[in-house]
Amino acid sequence: MDISWDFQRLANSSFNVEIDVEQKQWDKFQFTIPAEIKITTVRGERLDTLQITEQMNSFFIETDSQPVSIEFDPNNWLLKQFDIISGPQPPGSVPGDLFLAQNYPNPFSVGHTSNFLFYVAQLNSPHFISFNIFNILGQEVKTLVNQEKQAGFYNIQWDGRDNTGKIVPAGIYFYRLKSDKQQILKKLVLINQ
């Protein structure tokens, strides 16, 4: 099976996720099967069942927050072979780009978490990615990612602790997403409450 997906923001601040599934078996024989799909959004996960009945199938699922990734048959109920052949790219991006959204909430309170959504491009995937937090002096306080990442969306969190586990003081911090070809730097605010 080949699976592709994308999403659009709706007027009511929800999102419409489109999932296309193409059965790739020989021409005259197609399966009719239920298949689970797990959609991970910036607020959590949801599990839905798709009824695959044709060679080409399109499904539309509404979510209350932005989709980050999908997982086909997450519980491995099916004997299958599949590829996710395409997924969404951020608006204005081109193949080869990294994308980094502003963290949310921002500012956030010491002892709570903030979410960081980033995108790794399909072109030349996987990419070695580092994601670090720096204080106002440019000193690294936390490494959140330092590894190869496949193409796709990722959502990571920071709880305001440094690499040793200590809570950092309130203030302005910077976070950097970096690959071997590109880096993006943004600012965040950590407050006491």
pLDDT digits (tens, 9 = 90+) for 96-119: 568 888 888 888 988 789 989 888
Give the confidence band of 147 by pLDDT, cuts at 50, 70, 90: very high
Question: What token pair was written down for 75?
Answer: 């519980």
- Domain pair 2-86 / 98-191, same fold: yes
At the top level of CATH, which class does the domain 98-191 belong to? mainly beta
Q: How far apart are CA 8 and CA 119, in angstroms?
A: 16
The domain spans of the chain are: 2-86, 98-191
Q: 92 pLDDT exceeds 80?
A: no
Residue 135 DSSP code: -
Residue 104 DSSP code: B
Residue that the structure tokens 């959609």 belong to = 39
SS3 34: strand
Topology of domain 2-86 in CATH is Immunoglobulin-like (2.60.40)
Q: 38 pLDDT exceeds 70?
A: yes
Q: What is the pTM of this model?
A: 0.54
pLDDT in tens, 65-79: 888 888 888 888 888
Q: How far apart are CA 17 and CA 58, in angstroms?
A: 10
Sequence-distant (6+) residues with CB within 8 A of 112 are 159, 160
Give the confidence band of 124 by pLDDT, cuts at 50, 70, 90: low
Contact assessment for residue 120 and residue 41, using Cβ atoms and an 8 Å cutoff: no
Nearest-CA neighbor of 185 among 102, 92, 123?
102
Q: 18 pLDDT exceeds 70?
A: yes
Residue ranges with strand state E in 87-165 = 98-100, 108-109, 114-120, 127-134, 140-149, 152-158
Q: How far apart are CA 157 and CA 144, in angstroms?
A: 8
